[in-house]
Structures are given as C-alpha cells and as structure tokens.
A and B are shown apart, each in its own frame.
Chain A
Amino acid sequence: MASNKIMVQFLNRPFGTIHYVEGLRASLGIASGWDEHEVYLLFMGEGVYYALKGVNRTDSLKYIHTLEKLGFGLNVERESLQELGIDESDISEEFNIVSRAEVFELMKEQDFTVDF
C-alpha cells in the first residue's frame, strides 16, 4: 500500500444525481484510511452548481467539515463557471476558485484522479 495524491473530481450536477454526496463520502474515506492519502477536491463541469451560494448542502455538510478539519478544502474551476455563465460573486465563500491552467498543473502532480 502507498500514500497517494488523489484528485476527486465532481462532474455531476448536485440535483438529479447523488454523486456529490457519495463523492464527498468517498473522499473522506480516502483521506482517513490507513494510507492517509492526500485528496484534492475539485468541482468542475456541471459539478460547479454545488458551489453556488444558497445550495442546500445539509446531506453532505458533515463530510465537508471533517475534510476541512483534515486540511482538505473545496475548489471550483473558473473556466467551468464561465462556460455555464455563472458569476464568481455567486460562488459560496467556502470554495477556492482555481484556473484550468492551475488544475492542469495539479493533475500532473496526482497519482490518480477519480470522478463522481
């Protein structure tokens, strides 16, 4: 076994699917297992709707808080916001906005990426 860098990408809308909550639960499992993998949580594509202000995150809040305590924050891709016509001022302050170029560099550092 090895400690890996794993990017978890959230690509699905937070409505109509439950991928977001399962992805966050999986992320917690990844981060808190024996291997203590390092996770990078990235919302991109239609997954960025989860980052909007006012979204009901009740079902996944416990995972977010625990991941934050472990040092893993939430990130959302800027270009995905632009492609969907979402203004950055509409993004909840818990999310760090990163550019696609930064995402590309981060992806090169990862051992794996998994998507939900």
Chain B
Amino acid sequence: MGILGIMLTDGPWQTERWETVTKIAESALDKGHEVRLFLFLDGVYNPIKHQNFPDFTEQPVDSFKRLTEKGATIVTCGICTNARGLQDGKEYVDNIKSAGLPDYSEFLGDATSVVTF
C-alpha cells in the first residue's frame, strides 16, 4: 500500500476542488492506502468548524472531518493559516495540524504519489 499525498490550494466556497479531493482521499483510504493532505493558500479555510451553507446536506468541513476519522493526516500551511487570521487553526475540527514548510518538505519526502488541486 502506498502513501498518497494531496495538496489543495483552494477554499470550500468558490470551487468544488475540495469535493474532488475528499472523494479521492476517501476512496484511497477505503482501499487501504495512507492519505496525507497538505492545505495551502485558501485551502486552509476547509477545516474550519461552524461553516454552514443551508443548501448543502453535507458541509465541506464534514468531509475533511470524516477523512481524519478514517485515518488521514491533514496539515495546513501555518503561514497561510495565520495570514488569514485563523490563529494557528484554533477553530479547526479535531486532529488538523497547522505546520511549517519543513512539514511540507516531509510531506513530499514521504509520499509515494502526489497530486495537486
């Protein structure tokens, strides 16, 4: 089994990249692969708690939460997080780590395959 690295640079409310990412990640987890997500740029908005768009039966953040529950590692770029006033991700759902560029380097060093969205 491999380690799938996914980098996401887009937020949850303008495009559907988050949906593509979470579905690919969940499929990989279900097949027994390890999944690591690195959220960059506006991608750091995805795991914030309390997001709600009434038209959606499932909110984007719920998909990210489910990924962590299934064992995915999700890391956000700390500089991107703080640049957006997210205070080291204190409003994130559980088990999301706000990290630095050495973690990004490690993310690329550990992965078997990497895809970017």
Contacts and interface: CB of A to CB of B under 8 A. Distances in A.
Contacts of A29: 100-102, 104-105
Given A26-B101, A114-B116, A37 B9 contact: no
Contact of A26 (B5, B104, B111, B113): B104
A115 to B, nearest CB: 5
Main secondary structure of the interface of B (DSSP, over half): helix
A25 B7 contact: no
Contacts of A33: 101-102, 104-106, 109
What's the interface size class on A, roughly? Answer: 20 to 34
Interface residues of B, number: 20
A34 B105 contact: yes
Given A19-B41, A112-B114, A114-B116, A25 B109 contact: no
Contacts of B105: 29-30, 32-35, 37
B114 A35 contact: no
Interface in B63-117: 79-80, 100-102, 104-106, 108-111, 113-114, 116
26 contacts: A1-B106, A1-B109, A2-B110, A6-B108, A18-B41, A19-B41, A22-B9, A22-B40, A22-B41, A22-B80, A25-B79, A25-B101, A26-B40, A29-B102, A32-B101, A32-B105, A33-B101, A33-B102, A33-B106, A34-B105, A34-B106, A112-B5, A112-B113, A113-B114, A114-B7, A114-B108
Interface of B: 5, 7, 9, 40-41, 79-80, 100-102, 104-106, 108-111, 113-114, 116
In the A-B complex, the 8 residue pairs with the smallest Cβ-Cβ separation, listed nearest first, are A33-B105, A29-B101, A35-B109, A1-B109, A112-B114, A114-B116, A29-B104, A33-B102
